[in-house]
Amino acid sequence: MNRPGSPQSEGDVITILLVDDIPEARENIKKLLAFEPDFRVIGSVGTGREGVAMAKEMKPNIVIMDINMPDMDGIQATSLITESVPTAAVIMMSVQNDPDYLRRAMLAGARNFLTKPISPDELYNTIRTVHAQHRVVAQRLSAMQQVPEESLRKAVQAEGTENRPGHVIVVYSPQGGVGVTTIATNLASGLMKEGIRVLLVDADLQFGDIGVLLNIQSQSTMVDLVDNIHDLDTELFDSIVFTHDSGMKVLMGPARPEYAEVIEQNNPTAVAQMLEKISGNYDFIVVDTSHQLNETVLSLFDIAAKIVLVGMPTLACVKNVRFVLDLFDQLNYPPDKTFLILNRVLDDRNRQRFTIPSEKIARFLKRPIELEIPSDELTALEAMSKGIPIIARRDKSRSPVKELMSLSDMLYTQLVGQEEVEDFDSSADKARRKPGLGLRLGKA
């Protein structure tokens, strides 16, 4: 039997670059790493500058970087490596457990942090965890590097969101528990208007909970479709999709986590393929996702017209959002493909004390935050326990109902166009007089 660290093939070996100005420190880590067959140290250098040069040349999977170094320090070197070698993941080392250092290292793009003296188990676990988290992203980026830039540009242009049948909106956060499912459900519900066909998809394959949020018990799930993707037709799809009391259609995720594994292992792009096939039947497809950056989620990003990227005003979350935004840049997504929002924002008094102010976050992310949704635990829990979306509340002027309503209005405007939004908001009669979204999108 294989032990946990045994590589199955050459491709499973994790290549590592060590950057530390103290030679004995580098030697010690190298010795520890030599005990594990899945690690290979491919370089060991003593300055930040050399670290950046060697990372560019050797393209290691992991860089273990000391924070305090003469010449160029670990934070600056990490920034440069993250920018120029995005397939490498940096783990920062420091003697002291200083929260300010940790903050700066994470914001520079380090994926994790080790405090010296480092125990062997801590070292091994951190490397393996960071590598596992980063692997799918790194594979995607290195595949892109092999495609000539010109054809890539053409592909991105061809993929433009104009004329795409049905708008796929993917809601995602790199952090769990931020409110992705709540937002996806309310967004889908907010987009439901006279004559507009909305599909809500639970693509959090392992632990999806749209069924709980909307009080749906359905036996049919996307698992029933995966074997028929190539000849998926409207009739088959409709027989699987659940119709909620509100008229919204819902494609449920696998009923059990082990079914999710089957999809993820056999065809991780299955959900994206399904949605592309049936997108002509809907005006909007809203997709709930898991926080893991796996191939399922990446393929959904690819087909999305908009990605609603959800953050919370905490350091860990902002750092992860920054990583995702950098990834989107590297994937050549146009900036307006991403719609950045903050959820669970505290009121003015508490926000200053416990969280990072939004202006600071926007400055750090170099992007505007398009919407802030206030924290309202009771309303969110009440909606969940009743199995109805938050925006179904009668009092539409109250937070967070009004912010969730404006999320669907803003996205509608951005995707469909300003002039039609007036119809969207006004009477049903007026909406009926318009040729209709379906026609405009080239549908019957």
Ligand X SMILES: Nc1ncnc2c1ncn2[C@@H]1O[C@H](COP(=O)(O)OP(=O)(O)OP(=O)(O)O)[C@@H](O)[C@H]1O
Q: Which is nearer to ligand X, 31 or 256 (CB)?
A: 256
Whether the CA torsion 275, 276, 279, 281 is positive or negative: it is negative
Burial (CB count <10 Å: 0-12, 13-18, 19+), residue 171: buried
CA-to-CA distance for 15 and 13, rounded, in angstroms?
6
Instruction: Give residues with Cβ within 8 angstroms of 305, minimum separation 6.
Output: 161, 164, 167, 168, 169, 337, 415
Tokens standing for 168? 């796929």
Q: Which is nearer to ligand X, 147 or 381 (CB)?
A: 381
Q: Smallest distance from the beta carbon of 48 to ligand X, in angstroms?
A: 36
Instruction: Give residues with Cβ within 8 angstroms of 244, minimum separation 6.
Output: 214, 216, 250
Q: Smallest distance from the beta carbon of 181 to Mg ion, in angstroms?
A: 3
Instruction: Give residues with Cβ within 8 angstroms of 419, minimum separation 6.
Output: none
CA-to-CA distance for 51 and 35, rounded, in angstroms?
24
Residues interacting with Mg ion, by CB under 5 A?
180-181
Q: Does 388 participate in binding ligand X (rule CB under 6 A)?
A: no
- DSSP structure class, residue 388: S
Q: Does 373 participate in binding ligand X (rule CB under 6 A)?
A: yes
Partner from Mg ion, ligand X, none contacting 182, C-beta within 5 to 8 A by type = ligand X
CA-to-CA distance for 222 and 206, rounded, in angstroms?
12
Q: Smallest distance from the beta carbon of 381 to Mg ion, in angstroms?
A: 15
Q: Does 14 participate in binding ligand X (rule CB under 6 A)?
A: no
Smallest CA-to-CA distance from 126 within 10, 264, 14, 291 is with 14
- What is the 3-state composition of the chain as percent helix, strand, coil, each rounded to the nearest 5? 50, 15, 35
Partner from ligand X, Mg ion, none contacting 375, C-beta within 5 to 8 A by type = ligand X
Binding segment for ligand X (CB under 6 A), chosen from 15-23, 97-105, 172-180, 298-306, is 172-180
Binding segment for ligand X (CB under 6 A), chosen from 86-94, 107-115, 171-179, 328-336, is 171-179
Q: Does 179 participate in binding ligand X (rule CB under 6 A)?
A: yes
Q: Answer whether 188's CB lies under 8 Å from 308's CB.
A: no
Q: Answer whether 96's CB lies under 8 Å from 125's CB.
A: no
Q: Does 26 participate in binding ligand X (rule CB under 6 A)?
A: no
Q: Which is nearer to ligand X, 317 or 365 (CB)?
A: 317
Partner from ligand X, Mg ion, none contacting 189, C-beta within 5 to 8 A by type = none
Q: Smallest distance from the beta carbon of 402 to Mg ion, in angstroms?
A: 23
Q: Which of 25, 274, 384, 405 binds ligand X (CB under 6 A)?
A: 384
Partner from ligand X, Mg ion, none contacting 423, C-beta within 5 to 8 A by type = none
Q: Does 344 participate in binding ligand X (rule CB under 6 A)?
A: yes
Contacts with ligand X, residue ranges (CB under 6 A): 173, 176-182, 204, 291, 343-344, 373, 375-377, 380-381, 384, 400
